[in-house]
């Protein structure tokens, strides 16, 4: 208890110092007035209702607010987390059939206030699109974060369960404010030790902090845990002894955490153990765990991210393994599918599994952390990319949605101040995938920086253009996975590593040669990946004349002089895309310069520094890719295009130190 009080005391001392010093970005989008002293009426009391009342009392600037638990037909139809907000003659009434619903309603009301919405005649009905809206943390027990670009893990495992960082509650509060209701605490490349009894007590401590905010905890588990921890001879899912081990472990977990959510599993992928090691299927493995969790209401989220060197086209692997299993998973299993068929590329067509398994519960896995999009150096707003995905995949066809977290222990949580917008956007889209990118960007800007239209309008436009710009200066027209070896930061289309599998190398994907560029996935001459899509869409993708330009080189290998829809050659179109991406990055930099009067000096400086890196990186990408591909095309750059600043032979010498790839120094480039 002394340690807990000490931690809390130090936190408030820190807050006092913070208010008098630099703006560190730690308040995220929750920057409301905290001295409003509003009147809040609620006849009931609970940990969750207390949080809702506290938020309203300290920040609501209007008249009295009434919180009511309602069990009438209207509120029952909104589900356990839905709510209503109605303006009455002398107050505002928040209604819901659950305490969590009232908490979400409180945050909604405050969001309306902070974004300047009209509050006089509110009549709002809200319900989430999905019951499960979850963050996946790829945090390791040693404090490192796989694909994390904002410092070390937020979870101080060495100090738990005795010492609770105040940031745990701040984390829960931020998630609840945007409707996120679950968190997987550890990396999908899971250590079996996560299930040791001592570690489960640490998980319980976090669950206790998160519970009042409506957030359940989940764990990634290693499929070989019965053998590693339990000393069993194997982890065969059809071995009754293996099932009994899991059954006992699940009972132990629920004795500590009665509302534990369940397991996330990465199996038979990238060296992780799984049921296929014993000649069993993914359904065999998932269903065995589901049987153990079923009595407690727990879920299994089984990842479909699988690939091996035997498949000619890596993009086809997940479909090949999971499509035959449609309808064989138990009802408390959800198959978690990455939005695209490869691996979180800057742009991918949707994974064909989403339209191939109508009898299986599916959830989309989106990547909030910018593994392939400039890490915490590049300003890339991801809502437009996710909206593109939902344009192909009907939101109602999914049961849940997960986002790979970009959160670390840096003061501003996400490394780049604008990367906070992607955490925010994920939560808002997980609640309502039909929300527009424009509305999300505007909400976030007004709450995080300023509500002046002279700031919001140009910054919103900049954010909305940022993803397309990144795709253009990195991998336009369907190019993909041409990153530098291992760290996925800069370009290295020429990369060759002795002993590496072909599908780990860029040439496997771009297939550049004298005859052209692109991966042929057509049904007539290529891998046939187009046939994994519904017939109407497969026909569009299969023909280079009808294939959308943004996926052209994803599905087709085409000659350099291929005539594009606008009459240009493929080479000219490719060059112009790289040029457009660079120029948009420069325009973003110029816009931010004009925003200086509206932004505190600290955040302005941090963002300006990263925009400078982003522009330099855009030049690097453009020069590296075009100079390399030019060795095959033999064609000149289009007239009027900016000449390369680097030489190809110099760029081939650039090797970023793995330890420094989060913030690569400019001097590493020639």
DSSP string, 3-15: HHHHHHHHHHHHH
Containing domain of residue 93, as a range?
32-126
pLDDT average, residue stretch 47-68: 97
Domain total of the chain: 3
Assess if residue 638 is contained within a domain. yes
| Predicted confidence (pLDDT) per residue in 268-314, tens digit | 999 999 999 999 999 999 999 999 999 999 999 999 999 877 678 99
Final residue of a domain: which of 69, 97, 126? 126
Over 90: is that where the pLDDT of 659 sits?
A: no
pLDDT at 321: 96
Over 50: is that where the pLDDT of 15 sits?
A: no
**594 catalytic residue (yes or no):** no
Assess if residue 455 is contained within a domain. no
User: What confidence category does residue 83 fall into, taking pLDDT thresholds of 50, 70 and 90?
Assistant: very high
Indicate if 116 and 247 belong to the same structural domain. no
d(CA 163, CA 301): 30
**438 catalytic residue (yes or no):** no
For residue 251, say if its preceding peptide bond is cis, omega within 30 degrees of 0.
no
d(CA 456, CA 450): 7
Q: Do residues 33 and 59 make contact, with C-beta atoms less than 8 angstroms apart?
A: yes
Over 90: is that where the pLDDT of 334 sits?
A: yes
Name 67's Cβ contacts closer than 8 Å, sequence gap at least 6: 40, 41, 42, 49, 52, 53, 94, 102, 105, 106
- Residue 407 in 3-state DSSP? coil
| Predicted confidence (pLDDT) per residue in 611-631, tens digit | 999 999 999 999 999 999 999
Which one from 284, 371, 468, 617 is the annotated catalytic residue?
371
Indicate if 280 and 150 belong to the same structural domain. yes
Q: Do residues 495 and 624 make contact, with C-beta atoms less than 8 angstroms apart?
A: no
Indicate if 254 and 310 belong to the same structural domain. yes
| Predicted confidence (pLDDT) per residue in 158-170, tens digit | 999 999 999 999 9
Over 90: is that where the pLDDT of 17 sits?
A: no
Final residue of a domain: which of 448, 483, 505? 448
Extended strands (E) in 192-254? 216-221
Residue 26 has which token pair? 């730690």
Indicate if 251 and 375 belong to the same structural domain. yes
Assess if residue 531 is contained within a domain. no
CB atoms within 10 A of CB 386: 25
Indicate if 444 and 579 belong to the same structural domain. no
Indicate if 121 and 143 belong to the same structural domain. no
Extended strands (E) in 525-620? none
User: What confidence category does residue 668 fall into, taking pLDDT thresholds of 50, 70 and 90?
Assistant: low
Assess if residue 458 is contained within a domain. no
Over 70: is that where the pLDDT of 184 sits?
A: yes
pLDDT average, residue stretch 577-585: 98
Assess if residue 534 is contained within a domain. no
DSSP3 helix / strand / coil % (the chain, rounded to 5): 45, 10, 45
User: What confidence category does residue 660 fall into, taking pLDDT thresholds of 50, 70 and 90?
Assistant: low
pLDDT average, residue stretch 382-407: 98
Q: What is the mean pLDDT of the chain?
A: 94
pLDDT average, residue stretch 565-581: 98
Over 90: is that where the pLDDT of 2 sits?
A: no
Torsion of CA 228, 234, 240, 242, to 10 degrees: 20
Residue 353 has which token pair? 């599994």
The secondary element (H helix, E strand) that includes residue 95 is strand 92-96
pLDDT at 312: 87
The secondary element (H helix, E strand) that includes residue 69 is strand 65-69
Indicate if 161 and 105 belong to the same structural domain. no
d(CA 144, CA 122): 46
Q: Do residues 622 and 578 make contact, with C-beta atoms less than 8 angstroms apart?
A: yes
pLDDT average, residue stretch 8-36: 66
pLDDT average, residue stretch 661-668: 55
Which one from 50, 146, 239, 343 is the annotated catalytic residue?
343
How does strand 92-96 pair with strand 83-87?
Answer: antiparallel
| Predicted confidence (pLDDT) per residue in 371-384, tens digit | 999 999 999 999 99
pLDDT average, residue stretch 445-460: 98
CATH number of residue 653's parent domain: 3.90.1330.10
How does strand 123-126 pair with strand 83-87?
Answer: antiparallel
Residue 40, strand partner residues: 65
Residue 139, strand partner residues: 145
- Residue 364 in 3-state DSSP? strand
Residue 465 has which token pair? 């253009």
Indicate if 57 and 196 belong to the same structural domain. no
| Predicted confidence (pLDDT) per residue in 638-658, tens digit | 999 999 999 999 999 998 876
CATH number of residue 69's parent domain: 3.30.379.10
Name 97's Cβ contacts closer than 8 Å, sequence gap at least 6: 69, 70, 71, 75, 76, 78, 79, 80, 82
| Predicted confidence (pLDDT) per residue in 99-152, tens digit | 999 999 999 999 999 999 999 999 999 999 999 999 999 999 999 999 999 999
Over 70: is that where the pLDDT of 669 sits?
A: no
CATH number of residue 428's parent domain: 3.20.20.80
Indicate if 117 and 247 belong to the same structural domain. no
pLDDT at 1: 37
Indicate if 504 and 591 belong to the same structural domain. yes
d(CA 473, CA 613): 14
Which one from 252, 270, 452, 561 is the annotated catalytic residue?
270
Assess if residue 27 is contained within a domain. no
| Predicted confidence (pLDDT) per residue in 497-528, tens digit | 998 999 999 999 999 999 999 999 999 999 99
Over 70: is that where the pLDDT of 663 sits?
A: no
**249-260: b (≥16 Cβ within 10 Å) or e:** bbeebbeebeeb
- Separation in Å, CA 356 to CA 299, 339, 402, 541: 22, 14, 20, 17
pLDDT average, residue stretch 55-80: 97
Assess if residue 322 is contained within a domain. yes
Assess if residue 15 is contained within a domain. no
Indicate if 432 and 571 belong to the same structural domain. no
pLDDT at 486: 84
Final residue of a domain: which of 70, 102, 126? 126
Q: Is 9 exposed, middle or buried (0-12, 13-18, 19+ CB in 10 A)?
A: exposed
pLDDT average, residue stretch 23-46: 95
Q: Do residues 505 and 497 make contact, with C-beta atoms less than 8 angstroms apart?
A: yes
Which pTM was predicted? Answer: 0.95
User: What confidence category does residue 662 fall into, taking pLDDT thresholds of 50, 70 and 90?
Assistant: low
Indicate if 579 and 442 belong to the same structural domain. no
**609 catalytic residue (yes or no):** no
d(CA 75, CA 101): 10
Over 80: is that where the pLDDT of 38 sits?
A: yes
């Amino acid at each position: 208890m002394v340690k807990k009080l000490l931690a809390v005391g130090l936190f408030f001392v820190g807050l006092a110092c913070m208010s008098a010093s630099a703006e560190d970005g730690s308040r995220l989008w929750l920057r409301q007035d905290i001295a409003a002293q509003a009147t809040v009426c609620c006849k009931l009391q609970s940990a969750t209702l207390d949080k809702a009342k506290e938020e309203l009392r300290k920040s609501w600037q209007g008249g009295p607010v009434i919180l009511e638990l309602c069990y009438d037909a209207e509120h029952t139809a909104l589900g356990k987390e839905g709510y209503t907000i109605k303006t009455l003659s002398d107050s505002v009434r928040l209604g819901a059939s659950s305490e969590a619903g009232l908490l979400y309603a409180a945050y909604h009301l405050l969001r309306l206030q902070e974004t300047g919405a009209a509050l006089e005649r509110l009549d709002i009905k809200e319900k989430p699109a999905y019951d499960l809206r979850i963050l996946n943390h790829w945090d390791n027990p040693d404090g490192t974060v796989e694909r994390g670009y904002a410092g070390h893990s937020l979870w101080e495992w060495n100090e738990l369960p005795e010492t609770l960082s105040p940031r745990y509650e701040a984390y829960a509060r931020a998630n609840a404010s945007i409707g996120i209701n679950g968190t997987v605490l550890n990396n999908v490349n899971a250590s079996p030790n996560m299930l040791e009894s001592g570690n489960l007590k640490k998980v319980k401590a976090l669950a206790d902090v998160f519970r009042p905010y409506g957030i359940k905890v989940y764990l990634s588990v290693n499929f070989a845990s019965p053998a590693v921890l339990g000393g069993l001879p194997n982890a065969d899912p059809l071995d009754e002894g293996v099932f009994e081990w899991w059954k006992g472990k699940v009972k132990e977990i629920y004795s500590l955490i009665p509302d534990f959510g369940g397991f996330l599993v990465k199996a038979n992928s990238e060296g992780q153990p799984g049921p296929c090691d014993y000649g069993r299927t993914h359904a065999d493995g998932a269903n065995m765990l589901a049987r153990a969790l079923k009595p407690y209401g727990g879920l299994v989220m089984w990842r479909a991210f699988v690939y091996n060197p035997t498949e000619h086209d890596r993009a086809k692997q997940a479909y090949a393994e999971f499509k035959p299993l449609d309808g064989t998973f138990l009802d408390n299993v959800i198959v978690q599918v990455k939005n695209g068929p490869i691996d979180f590329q800057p742009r991918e067509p949707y994974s064909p599994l989403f339209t191939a398994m109508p009898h299986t519960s599916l959830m989309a896995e989106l990547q909030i952390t910018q593994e392939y999009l400039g890490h915490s150096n590049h300003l890339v707003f991801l809502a437009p990319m996710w909206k593109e995905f939902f344009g192909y995949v009907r939101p109602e066809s999914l049961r849940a949605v997960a986002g790979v977290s970009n959160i670390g222990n840096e003061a501003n949580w996400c490394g780049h101040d604008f990367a906070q917008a992607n955490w925010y956007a994920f939560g808002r889209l997980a609640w309502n995938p039909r929300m527009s990118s424009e509305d999300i960007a505007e909400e976030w800007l007004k709450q995080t920086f300023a509500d002046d239209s002279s700031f919001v309008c140009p910054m919103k436009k900049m954010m909305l253009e940022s993803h397309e710009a990144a795709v253009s200066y990195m991998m336009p027209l369907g190019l993909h996975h041409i990153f530098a070896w291992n760290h996925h930061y800069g370009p290295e289309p020429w990369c060759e590593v002795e002993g590496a599998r072909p599908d780990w190398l860029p040439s496997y994907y771009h297939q550049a040669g004298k005859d052209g560029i692109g991966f042929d996935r057509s049904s007539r001459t290529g891998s046939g990946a187009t046939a994994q899509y519904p017939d109407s869409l497969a026909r569009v993708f299969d023909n280079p004349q009808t294939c959308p330009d943004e996926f052209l080189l994803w599905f087709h290998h085409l000659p350099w002089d291929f005539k594009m829809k606008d009459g240009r050659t493929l080479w000219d179109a490719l060059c112009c895309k790289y040029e457009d991406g660079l120029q948009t990055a420069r325009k973003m930099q110029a816009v931010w310069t004009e925003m200086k009067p509206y932004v505190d000096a600290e955040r302005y400086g941090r963002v300006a520094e990263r925009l400078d890196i982003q522009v330099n990186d855009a030049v690097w990408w453009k020069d590296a890719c075009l100079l390399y591909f030019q060795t095959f095309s033999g064609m000149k750059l289009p007239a009027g295009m900016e000449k390369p600043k680097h030489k190809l032979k110099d760029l081939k010498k650039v090797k970023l130190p793995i330890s420094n790839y989060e913030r690569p120094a400019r001097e590493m480039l020639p």
